[in-house]
Amino acid sequence: MNDDVSQILSRLLNSPSGVHHVWFAGSQVAPSELAWQVDFPRIEVVLDGVLLDACDEGMPARLEQHDVLYVPARCWNNPQWNTPVTTLSILFGKQQLGFSILHWDGAKFTTLGKQNVARRGPRIGSFLLQALNELVTQPQDQQTAKFIVSSILSHCTDLLGSQIQTASRSEALFDAIREYIDEKYAQPLTRESVAQAFYISPNYLSHLFQKTGAVGFNEYLNHTRLEHARTLLKRYDLKVKEVAHACGFVDSNYFCRLFRKNTERSPSEYRRQYHSQLTEKTLS
């Protein structure tokens, strides 16, 4: 099974039968000790296998493949893990949706996937959930229930797709910023000036580097400048101060300290060692 939540939802929505049956958890009786109860609405989808769930008074509901259990806010359900089954749980929080794929093999649980996505335009999802809440007292209206549940799952798919597009845009922006630094490293770049060049805030620029590049802005800028400094030290007989200024360092003393910290040698020592090794290779 492909454990990508978006693909799982798409396969369910595009299958000939779609959502098979919608069950509703009520709150007519007090939950047992093993029941699962939270403050937000939930949807449980059986992806594979059979699940018995004592979601209300009376006999446990028998959920088969592509059956859905809707649990309103502050209501509860109590799954009976008797046979192997794979489920998808969707928790509708105020700020985000949580997705969890769980597999029970008869002996142990395995989490096959977990994902969160921010709610974009929460009114859409809220209206659909409100409509589903009104069907709790009319569980026999399966046609309407399946239509609403399918709409909610489609809304979830849209949110997940939007998250992927946002991530792609962030990566593209980060790549463009990195290319900008690689090209203009010799200029007096700052976090503020680079952010202004791309019409974003300095804080968002820092966020991009930490999230997408795993290093900070200053760390990346210094790394780029030091790489070019190494090249100049190897190829040209420039003074250390000239190398520092050519690579964007205003303070040559700071350049020397940073260079030693990263190479364990001063710029002059680095140059001498390089040429010494080059001479040895030529003689040999």
Burial-class residue 26 by CB neighbours within 10 Å (0-12, 13-18, 19+): middle
Task: Check whether residue 235 and residue 100 sit in a common domain.
Answer: no
Q: What is the reported pLDDT for 27?
A: 66
Question: Which residue range forms the structural domain that includes residue 223?
Answer: 219-283
Q: What is the reported pLDDT for 121?
A: 58
Q: What is the reported pLDDT for 67?
A: 96
The answer, yes or no, to whether residue 2 has pLDDT greater than 50, is no
The answer to the question of residue 234 being in a domain is yes
Task: Check whether residue 140 and residue 269 sit in a common domain.
Answer: no
Yes or no: say if 23 and 149 are a contact pair by the CB < 8 Å rule.
no
Q: With bands split at pLDDT 50, 70 and 90, how would you rate the model's confidence at 1?
A: very low
Rounded mean pLDDT, 67-92: 92
Distance set, CA 104 to CA 1, 54, 222 (Å) = 14, 17, 50
Q: Domain with 257 in it: what CATH number? A: 1.10.10.60
Rounded Cα–Cα distance for residues 82 and 50 (Å): 9
Task: Check whether residue 159 and residue 229 sit in a common domain.
Answer: no
Q: Which two tokens stand for residue 46?
A: 């059986």
The answer, yes or no, to whether residue 119 has pLDDT greater than 80, is no
The answer to the question of residue 203 being in a domain is no
Task: Check whether residue 161 and residue 42 sit in a common domain.
Answer: yes
Q: What is the reported pLDDT for 112?
A: 87
Q: With bands split at pLDDT 50, 70 and 90, how would you rate the model's confidence at 164?
A: low
* Domains held by the chain: number: 2
The answer to the question of residue 237 being in a domain is yes
* Phi, psi for 133 (deg, rounded to 5): -60, -35
